[in-house]
């Protein structure tokens, strides 16, 4: 199973900053290994950010995103005790979903 998604939230007044790091190799399919063989493409294709189970952001990624992509955004109306979730699915059908509670 892939490593856990790291989700951090920080609130200031009515604004919350949400940061999440999705641990993933994000191989483009263009790199070669030490034997000169192409390393197969393996990257996150879609991700979803939720707030208390409702979708805030849906995104699509491609091979040009760096290993272990990190995203940060700001949102209004997020309070202490709310749940923030992140889920992704990659080009091999693997998926990961994690959730945290806003402190």
Q: What is the pLDDT of residues 43-98, one digit of tens each?
A: 999 999 999 999 999 999 988 889 999 999 999 999 999 999 999 999 999 999 99
Cα–Cα distance between 99 and 87 in angstroms, integer?
9
pTM > 0.75: yes
Which fold would CATH assign to domain 6-94? Immunoglobulin-like (2.60.40)
Give the position of tokens 């693997």: 94
Q: Residues 87, 24: contact at Cβ < 8 Å?
A: no
Quickly state the pLDDT bin for 12 (edges 50, 70, 90): very high
Domain ranges of the chain: 6-94
pLDDT of residue 65: 85
DSSP string, 47-72: EEEEETTEEEEEEE--TTSPSS-EEE
């Amino acid at each position: 199973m892939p490593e856990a998604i790291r989700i951090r939230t920080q609130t200031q007044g009515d604004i919350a900053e949400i940061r999440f790091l999705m641990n993933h190799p994000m191989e483009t399919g263009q790199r070669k290994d030490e034997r000169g063989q192409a390393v197969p493409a393996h990257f996150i294709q879609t991700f979803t950010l939720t707030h208390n189970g409702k979708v805030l952001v849906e995104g699509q990624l491609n091979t040009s995103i760096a290993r272990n992509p990190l995203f940060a955004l700001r949102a209004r109306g997020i309070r202490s005790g709310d749940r923030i979730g992140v889920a992704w699915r990659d080009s091999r059908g693997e998926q990961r979903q994690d959730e945290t509670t806003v402190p």
